[in-house]
Amino acid sequence: MEELTIKQFSDLTYNKLSELEEEVSLSDPTIGSTFPCRIISTPIEVVQKTDRKGVNLLKQFQISISHFGISSNECMEMVSQTDNKLSEYKFVKTNTLPIKYDKEIEKYNLITTYEVYWNALVKSFMSVK
């Protein structure tokens, strides 16, 4: 049995997205950042099931990814790549926000949210749907 912490989950997500060409970061971009880029938000963790001793057996994780690019089309293409890459870990996209233009950094931003379960008994991810 292996419990997965928020940091471990964030690191796994970061490493998986780093396999793509674009920059990946855990902090908001600035005008001097490398674009296009993906920003990983702090994950949300919900314990779904514990054993009699209180050991976490099943957790649900939710994470939002911001996709920054020079055009809305670039952001949409990045989301498709993110979807494909995170599906390797059985992540399911549960929400997409409208594309917005960030005037401070002069880039477009498309935010998507993903969810997945972690089963500590079998040490693997499980799809939420």
- Tell me if 65 sits within 8 A of 36, measured CB to CB: no
Contact (Cβ atoms closer than 8 angstroms) between residue 6 and residue 46:
no
CATH code of the region 6-126:
3.30.2000.30
Structure confidence by residue, pLDDT tens digits, 21-61: 899 999 999 999 999 999 999 999 999 999 898 889 999 99
The pTM of the whole model exceeds 0.85 = yes
- Residue (of 55, 7, 15, 60) closest to 38 by Cα position: 15
Which uninterrupted H or E stretch holds 6? helix 6-17
Domain ranges (residues) in the chain: 6-126
